[in-house]
């Protein structure tokens, strides 16, 4: 077994240092490989063990890594004892940020099992190689953070893959927040965007994206403020024009929206409020599997897909909503918004 030490910040509420925690890779985890562009990954077989070896007192940690699935989308479960701490869909051939929240780490060794629901595939059956390994999900380097820290409280598993896109017209903090939005890590994105918006000097697109982010997190005051500032923000590039127009469409609409007035009926609202966007996305997708025109699911998943830069999916969902509730203020505004959503 190969392991490494991680020294954690001293934030134990009982006082004293948390001490180092050693991570080793147990049964079902293959040795580390270097992929293209320097990516480091370890394949997991049918299931794999992370061994958290704690030399100090018991502590609660968040365990983080990126993951991507072999060949197909797979549901990854993270389990300690008989408790499932995470269920997240891992996409193929694209890294997804995973944060396993509040893992109870006892003194000694805690076994964290990563168990994909779908069976392992033999690599050589699907690629032109003689590789006989049976694999499911590959994970990147593991890091730990004390669950009580503010940074940990903002982190959630991504809803969408991390593509690391950058726009040259945006400042570094704006690009950072946009990338977090694209992953569905909205609490982190909003934390970065709020001071940009409050400064009054952000790019107009940052106000529009910030407003939609706040809306998705059920922060209507934050959305109102961002859209109001965004409709007046300065800038002459095409993205600036886009940002002002989107803010100008959505800002005045918030007080007239039937969907926002009735958002207590949204089954995904609690997930969105907590920033658990990956859980909200999964719930909306399940609902749409039963009822493809469900207004709550088409409306909210449409905005989440818009933040995730899944433009075709967002357009399809918004059109379904418009067809289902054609005479509402929500439908009218979504029609106007669709003009600015890329095909």
The CA distance from 216 to 87, in Å, is: 21
Neighbours of 289 (CB within 10 A): 10
Residue 182: beta bridge partners? none
Closest CA to 117 of 73, 153, 51: 73
Per-residue model confidence as pLDDT tens digits over 240-272: 999 999 999 999 999 999 999 999 999 999 999
81 and 50 in contact (C-beta within 8 Å)? no
CATH number, span 3-154: 2.60.120
Whether 176 has a pLDDT exceeding 70, the answer reads yes
**Per mean pLDDT, which range of 41-50, 163-172, 220-229, 248-257 is the poorest?**
163-172
Q: Is the dihedral of CA 144, 19, 40, 33 positive or negative?
A: negative
The CA distance from 147 to 126, in Å, is: 40
The pTM of the full predicted model, rounded to 2 decimals, is 0.92
Give residue 8's pLDDT: 53
What radius of gyration, in Å, describes the C-alpha atoms of the chain?
Answer: 22
265 and 296 in contact (C-beta within 8 Å)? yes
Lookup: tokens for 337? 């918004």
- 312-328 b/e with 16+ CB inside 10 Å = b? eebbebbbbbbeebeeb
Reduced to 3 states (helix: H, G, I; strand: E, B; else coil), residue 303 is: helix
Strands 83-90 and 121-122: unpaired
Residue 17: pLDDT band by 50, 70, 90 thresholds?
very low
44 and 25 in contact (C-beta within 8 Å)? no
Lookup: tokens for 136? 């499911």
Domains of the chain, by residue range, sit at 3-154, 161-343
H helix intervals, 127-276: 150-154, 172-182, 186-199, 204-216, 220-230, 238-250, 258-261, 269-273
The predicted model gives 276-280 an average pLDDT of 98
Whether 52 has a pLDDT exceeding 80, the answer reads yes
Per-residue model confidence as pLDDT tens digits over 101-154: 999 999 999 999 999 999 999 999 999 899 999 999 999 999 999 999 999 999
The CA distance from 199 to 129, in Å, is: 55
């Amino acid at each position: 077994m190969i392991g490494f030490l991680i020294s954690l910040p001293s934030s134990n509420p009982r006082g004293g240092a948390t001490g180092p925690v050693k991570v080793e890779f147990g049964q079902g985890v293959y040795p580390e490989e270097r992929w293209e562009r320097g990516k480091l990954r370890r394949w997991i077989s049918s299931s794999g063990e992370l061994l958290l070896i704690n030399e100090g007192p018991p502590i609660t940690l968040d365990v983080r890594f990126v993951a991507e699935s072999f060949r197909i989308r797979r549901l990854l479960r993270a389990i300690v004892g008989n408790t499932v701490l995470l269920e997240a869909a891992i996409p193929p051939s694209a890294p997804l940020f995973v944060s396993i929240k509040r893992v109870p780490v006892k003194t000694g060794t805690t076994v964290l099992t990563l168990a994909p629901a779908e069976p392992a595939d033999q690599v050589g059956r699907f690629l032109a190689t003689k590789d006989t390994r049976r694999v499911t999900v590959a994970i990147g380097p593991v890091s730990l953070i004390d669950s009580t820290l503010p940074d940990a409280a903002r982190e959630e598993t991504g809803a969408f893959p991390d593509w690391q896109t950058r726009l040259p017209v945006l400042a570094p903090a704006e690009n950072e927040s946009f990338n977090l939005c694209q992953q569905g890590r909205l609490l982190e994105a909003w934390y970065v965007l709020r001071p940009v918006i409050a400064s009054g000097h952000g790019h107009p697109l940052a106000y529009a994206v910030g407003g939609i982010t706040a809306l998705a997190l059920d922060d209507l005051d934050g959305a109102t403020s961002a859209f109001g500032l965004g409709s007046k923000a300065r800038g002459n590039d095409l993205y600036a024009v886009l940002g002002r127009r989107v803010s100008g469409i959505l800002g005045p609409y918030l007080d007239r929206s039937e969907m926002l007035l009735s958002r207590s009926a949204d089954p995904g609202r609690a997930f969105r409020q907590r920033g658990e966007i990956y859980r909200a996305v999964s719930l909306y997708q399940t609902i749409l599997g039963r009822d493809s025109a469900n207004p709550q699911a088409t409306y909210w998943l449409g905005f989440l897909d818009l933040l995730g830069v899944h433009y075709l999916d967002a357009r399809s969902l918004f059109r379904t909503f418009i067809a289902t509730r054609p005479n509402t203020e929500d439908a009218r505004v979504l029609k106007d918004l669709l003009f600015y959503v890329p095909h």
